[in-house]
Structure 1
Amino acid sequence: MSSSQSERTPLIDRSGLPLPIGSSQVQDHPIFLRACHSPWPWLGQSGLVYIRGLILAYLTALSGMLLDYKIKYEYGEDEEKTAWCTLFEFSTVAFVLLWLYHFIVFFWSFTHLFYPDIEEEDQRWESTVIKKLSPPVQTPQSRKRFYFSVFFTIVHVFAIMNCVIYWTVLVPLGYGKFPGAGGGDGGDDGDAGEGGEESASITSAEDFFGDYWFQPYCLINLYCITGLIAIFEILVLNSIKRQVPVGSHIFFVAFVLSAYLGWAAFGKLFTGEYPFFWMDREEVEKTEYIASYVSGFVSLGLTVFAFIYGLIGMRENLCDKGSQGQSPSQPSQNSRQVLLAEEQSPE
């Protein structure tokens, strides 16, 4: 059996994996397979695939609505701004990364469940597509697991940061766009402007579910639901372990956040607008304040990483406690195949 086939074998309980000869470490599964399996016994593979499909479909449909909202309401009403500004917004980057992650893991989970044993010699186009959409091949020397771990971390750091920044910084300081917020789009008298282009204050449930539902719906999804999806993914939908090495993940989180700030600065040259008010010298008045905000932005990302690390640790502990008292299962045929494939893979 080839190593590539072993990547697609069903994930089994770690207690059922035999130990490699001469090794004191417990045999473990690649991170790609852990992304395709929930750690909870009540969520089977079929249910997981259906949930991932629903999330991907929802995010895909939502993307069109958010694009329409940003073009029509955030920039369409301001003649000094261009819709190209949305390319440089942190919320846009966070949403695209979250959608891309769920696109990848859905197809990994789908092919892993329904097409686990595709022969490498099969060159039919259907088999080629399935192999491309299957979890990657991993060898002992491969860095793929580390790269995916960093990607997983960045995606969820961005998604949670996006929500935290909006509700704890932008809205309280009057820069939130939620109808009725201090600096939002709400009109003084709560009435829509001519032609319905101006936003009105949402003061009751009737307003929310009435004519003005679209804007708050998009904002709640962009700045709340996406964060909840990220937390749900971490706690329920995968069995990815805590990130190691921690130092390397911290470095890449700080590096990618700094790279985003560079992207945002480029956006100023391209569109004339900064994504965040605190990047604008005219808004904050002093360069020292900008430096403080930048430091706080990166520090918040590292804090969110620590939060995610703690969530994964909590989930691991809960799953370990749930499995205590159960007798270890005997190694299955699949576990022997996984071990044999790893022993035969090149070092």
Structure 2
Amino acid sequence: MRILVTGAAGFIGSKLSERLLARGDQVLGYDNLNDYYDPRLKDARLARLNPLDGFSFVRASLEDRAAMDAAFSDFKPERVVNLAAQAGVRYSLENPHAYVDSNIVGFMNILEACRHNGVGHLVYASSSSVYGNNRKLPFAVEDSVDHPVSMYAATKKANELMAHTYSHLFGLPTTGLRFFTVYGPWGRPDMALFLFTRRILAGEPIDVFNHGHHTRDFTYIDDIVEGVIRTLDRVPGPDPDYDPLAPSPATSSAPYRVYNIGNNRPVELLRYIEVLEDCLGRKAEKNLLPLQPGDVPDTYADVVALQRDTGYSPSTPIETGVARFVAWYREFYRA
């Protein structure tokens, strides 16, 4: 198939593109290579994709409507995976306009381009952050997500609502994936594992929020990509069991689905740090700090729906995943 992947120079997008190309799909990567974090890492990911048969690339932003329309018109994608977004919870407190530009205006452009170019399925990144102040664990797709605690989370919730509107009005099949704390080789430098590794190797203290007691459903990159591909290949239709008198947020009378995609095994942050210390062979000096604004104490993915519909089965324990990350980090940075 011809598949357009936005955010193709990003962490998940680059790995997904690699897997799609390996199975014989044609991939158009779309990314603006912005400097939210070191663009050299994005360039290095892209350098691994450029020589592969079937890969082409457009450098542009989601909010650039003309560039988006041209990419769709020229490439004629059959399916689209939208992974490009302004990421990060804490940064959304400092620069909320960036999230509206990329995650709202940009997603609107994606929806319109899919609608007018006959795309057969749009899969897009949502986030576990949509659960916000919800304290019922594990988080299930049937739960209410009406209390976000960051602008980032609010834009991801908005994406789900916008996608449903297009599924309902225009019959565009859409699937939203609520990612839970993705980690692994080629990961994002603004995330905890990357930050901790760099500081521990430099002999610097690490900032541990909520005194290390919050839990995260850390999910290894290969498990995430497997779930994305399984979802991409399963085009949703109207849910025959949808009840308008007792509506589920996860399905619809339209061709629309929302899934959690996580490891289904939450780990306390202090344990995660212990595993990292073992892999690095040195101890961390910890600055124990309170919970940050916009953060939530715990995440835990109920993935029953994704398992039922696609056979998704995450299998990488953190001991394996963190060790693979550390090996990659040492090689990439010669640390």
Question: Shorter-chain TM-score: which interval?
Answer: under 0.3
Q: Which has the higher strand share?
A: 2
| TM-score with structure 1 setting the length | 0.24
Instruction: Please state which structure has a larger fraction of its residues in helix.
Output: 1
Specify the structure having the higher radius of gyration (Cα): 1
Task: Give the structure-2-normalised TM-score.
Answer: 0.25
